């Protein structure tokens, strides 16, 4: 029997049923662990009197949600989409997820969090129709809390950035901001006259356009981006609520879906996503490029781990073309509390060479990132000032 066939039989039989096989390593060990968590009927565990007792596998509602979320991430990493769907369906029976989704009172007993929402969204395609309202209730509770926590800071940061960006260096006399003008010219203080002679006036333009910036959010639906998608749905709804911004939301895997019409409700956004599957970033960027009408007034945020399944070279060229046209483009590797994303380092370096900053940030940092982008500040320097490590230095 060849080594490949032995390896496959070992994965089929599991560890307890195949004591004579060599131990698995690397990705195979991770696959075996994911399979065992779902299909092992039970194992033995030691007790205080050192007698072995059968372990009973069950699904609690407290600490199990993060565990299930990690398990879902593992199976998306190590198995093809068709197999993932079968395992998710089996998990609903074997790990008690069906009961979790059916019993609203059980959900109410759990403290909803982003991890649980990510789990529900990952299972979106296999949730029974009569259970969807329960799942939406949980998701709405989490997104509402996130919006309460993040909305005001986001609106304040962006409004301040828009005001600063609108300042004119040659204001009319009635538009001069004398306080800021004095501060900007303190080095020109004349002791003999006990006054400041301003060489540069600072003021605000009377021009008040109805739209000051265009924002395009392109969100990767890869399984590894689950938590980031939850936060992105909340931020996209907040940005869309600001009249000074025109916000477009695009989600993608191997297909591109424009969810701009769903921007008034982050719950609708989340249930319209389909986590998992392949990734064609190049196609998504091509679609987003077609949305750009005012390049110099446009910010494009690509939320992705940059693991491209399409045309990597063409993807980088399209990002370079956007930057050359004047678009502020950023590749956001993750938008979550972890801050340690797994991503394609070579692709991040390639983007840096064409002027696209690539880094991860936490939800609390995202409003300041958007403010820096609106003011067209150096995003690499902004990241350094906020102790954020960029994936590669900008050229």
pLDDT per residue as tens, the chain (395 positions): 567 777 777 776 665 555 566 667 777 888 888 787 777 755 333 333 333 333 333 333 234 555 666 777 788 788 887 787 777 767 766 776 666 666 665 555 555 788 778 878 877 777 777 777 888 888 998 899 999 999 999 999 998 888 877 664 556 676 677 777 787 778 888 888 888 887 777 765 555 444 589 999 999 988 778 889 999 999 999 999 998 899 999 999 889 999 999 898 999 999 888 777 678 999 999 999 999 999 999 999 999 999 998 899 999 999 999 999 999 999 999 888 876 678 899 999 999 999 999 999 999 999 999 999 998 988 988 888 888 877 765 54
14 inside domain: no
5 inside domain: no
Residues 248 and 303 in one domain: yes
Residues 226 and 313 in one domain: yes
Residues 361 and 273 in one domain: yes
Contact 24, 10 (CB under 8 A): yes
Residues 378 and 327 in one domain: yes
Contact 310, 287 (CB under 8 A): no
235 inside domain: yes
**Number of domains forming the structure of the chain:** 2
pLDDT attached to residue 175: 67
Q: Which two tokens stand for residue 384?
A: 């350094």
Residues 244 and 190 in one domain: no
What whole-number distance in Å separates Cα of residue 112 and Cα of residue 122? 15
Closest CA to 370 of 208, 240, 252, 260: 240
25: burial class by Cβ within 10 Å (0-12, 13-18, 19+)?
exposed
Closest CA to 77 of 125, 110, 39, 29: 29
Residues 218 and 365 in one domain: yes
Residues 266 and 296 in one domain: yes
What are the residues whose beta carbons fall under 8 Å from the beta carbon of 146, sequence distance 6 or more? 114, 230, 231, 234, 363
* Domain span at 374: 150-161+211-385
Task: Measure CA 116 to chain center.
Answer: 16
Q: What percent of the chain is helix, strand and coil (3-state, nearest 5)?
A: 50, 15, 35
Q: Which two tokens stand for residue 211?
A: 């739209």
97 inside domain: no
Residue 393: how many CB atoms within 10 A of its CB?
A: 11
376 inside domain: yes
Q: What is the CATH number of the domain that holds 350?
A: 3.40.50.410
91 inside domain: no
Q: Ramachandran region of residue 131, left (φ > 0), alpha (ψ -120 to 50) or beta?
A: alpha
Contact 274, 124 (CB under 8 A): yes
Residues 323 and 194 in one domain: no
Closest CA to 283 of 320, 311, 242: 311
317 inside domain: yes
Residues 186 and 215 in one domain: no
Residues 367 and 241 in one domain: yes
What whole-number distance in Å separates Cα of residue 128 and Cα of residue 266? 21
Residues 241 and 378 in one domain: yes
48 inside domain: no
Q: Which two tokens stand for residue 70?
A: 């990690």
Residues 231 and 324 in one domain: yes
């Amino acid at each position: 029997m060849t080594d490949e066939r032995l390896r496959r039989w070992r994965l089929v039989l599991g560890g307890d049923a195949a004591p004579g096989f060599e131990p698995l390593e690397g990705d195979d060990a991770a696959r075996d662990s994911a399979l065992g968590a779902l299909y092992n009927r039970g194992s033995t565990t030691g007790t205080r009197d050192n007698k072995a007792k059968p372990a009973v596998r069950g699904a609690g509602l407290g600490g199990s949600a993060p565990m299930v979320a990690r398990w879902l991430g593992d199976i998306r990493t190590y198995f093809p989409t068709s197999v993932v769907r079968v395992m998710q369906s089996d998990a609903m029976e074997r790990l008690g997820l069906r009961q979790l989704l059916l019993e609203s009172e059980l959900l109410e007993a759990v403290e909803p969090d982003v991890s649980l929402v990510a789990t529900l969204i990952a299972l979106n395609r296999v949730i029974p129709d009569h259970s969807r309202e329960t799942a939406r209730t949980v998701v709405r509770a989490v997104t509402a809390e996130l919006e309460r926590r993040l909305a005001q800071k986001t609106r304040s940061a962006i409004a301040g950035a828009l005001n600063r960006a609108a300042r004119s260096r040659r204001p009319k006399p009635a538009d001069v901001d004398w306080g800021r003008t004095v501060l900007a010219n303190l080095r020109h203080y004349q002791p003999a006259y006990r006054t400041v002679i301003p060489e540069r006036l600072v003021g605000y333009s009377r021009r008040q356009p109805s739209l000051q910036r265009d924002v395009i959010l392109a969100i990767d639906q890869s399984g590894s981006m689950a938590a980031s998608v939850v936060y992105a749905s909340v931020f996209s709804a907040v940005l869309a609520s600001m009249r000074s911004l025109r916000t477009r939301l695009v989600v993608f895997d191997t297909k591109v879906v424009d969810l701009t019409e769903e921007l008034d409700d982050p719950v609708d956004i989340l249930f319209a996503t389909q986590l998992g599957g392949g990734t064609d970033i190049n196609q998504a960027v091509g679609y987003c490029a077609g949305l750009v009408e005012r390049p110099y007034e446009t910010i494009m945020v690509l939320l992705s781990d940059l693991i491209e399944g399409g045309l990597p070279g063409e993807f980088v060229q399209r990002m370079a073309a956007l930057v050359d046209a004047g678009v502020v483009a950023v590749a956001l590797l993750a938008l979550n509390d972890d801050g340690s994303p797994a991503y394609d380092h070579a692709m991040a370096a390639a983007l840096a060479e064409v002027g696209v900053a690539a880094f991860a940030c936490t939800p609390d940092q995202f409003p300041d990132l958007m403010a820096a982008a609106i003011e067209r500040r150096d995003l690499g320097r902004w990241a350094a000032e906020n102790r954020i490590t960029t994936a590669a230095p900008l050229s």
